[in-house]
Amino acid sequence: MRSPNRPQQGQGRPGPAGYRGAHRGGFQGGGGRNEPQGPSAALSDLLPRIKLATPEADLFDKTAEKAAQEIANGNKDANRPTQIRKFFDELCMWETKVRQNPGRFGDYLPFIRMMNAKVAYAFGRKPQLVDDNFRAFFQRCIEQIVDDKTLWHAKLFFEAFLGFYKVEKKD
């Protein structure tokens, strides 16, 4: 009698993630992970208008609303308001820490930037928790944080975005 843990003849041992063997198509590039496709054309056009160092008059209004519309119209199964709220809550936490101790901004910045990795993880999950539009939007905001002022503007912009997003994403 065969051991239940032992592969049957012809099955071989499991290989690295994504390897299907030469007879079945060879290496499949990561085992079907979510590959970044990039943001939508409309969001790509909007991202350069997000300037946290010198916010334009409509940043917290029209720009935030257009970003919310584009992200809400993306992947219907991703970008749930509760998931996006988690990222906003963490950004608020870091903004509060910096406001309470501005001299430690440099110590906190690597952890603020690490939020990009958390968004990437949410993007790579199965099921996908965020899509390329949200990922690009969030990266655009985080990459501009260079001091306490831009962190504050990022928080305000994200807050405005969430207000519009609540209207656009009806789930």
- Dihedral (CA of 48, 107, 131, 69) sign: negative
User: Does some domain include residue 143?
Assistant: yes
pLDDT at 39: 86
Give the three-state DSSP class for 41: helix
pLDDT at 24: 41
pLDDT at 2: 52
**Whole-model pTM?**
0.77
User: Does some domain include residue 88?
Assistant: yes
- Domain count for the chain, please give it: 1
What is the four-CA torsion angle of 146, 149, 154, 160, rounded to 10 degrees?
A: -170
117-120, long-range: CB within 8 Å, 24+ apart, which pairs? 118/87, 118/90, 119/87
**Helices 81-100, 148-168: crossing angle, 10 deg rounding:** 160
Q: Exposure pattern of 116-135 as b/e (b: 16+ CB <10 Å)?
A: eeebbebbbeeebbbbbbbb
User: Does some domain include residue 23?
Assistant: no
Domain that holds residue 145: 37-168
pLDDT at 169: 82
User: Does some domain include residue 19?
Assistant: no
Give the three-state DSSP class for 27: strand
How many whole angstroms separate alpha carbon 103 and alpha carbon 97?
10
137 membership: H or E segment, kind and range: helix 132-143
Tens digit of pLDDT at every position of the chain (171 positions): 555 554 455 444 444 444 444 444 433 344 445 566 788 888 999 999 999 999 999 999 999 999 999 999 988 889 999 999 999 999 999 999 999 999 999 999 999 999 999 999 999 999 999 999 999 999 999 999 999 999 999 999 999 999 999 999 876
User: Does some domain include residue 111?
Assistant: yes
pLDDT at 37: 75
pLDDT at 87: 97
- Dihedral (CA of 51, 53, 55, 60) sign: positive
User: Does some domain include residue 13?
Assistant: no
pLDDT at 75: 85
CA 95 to mean position of chain CA atoms: 19
User: Does some domain include residue 81?
Assistant: yes
pLDDT at 103: 96
User: Does some domain include residue 7?
Assistant: no
pLDDT at 156: 98
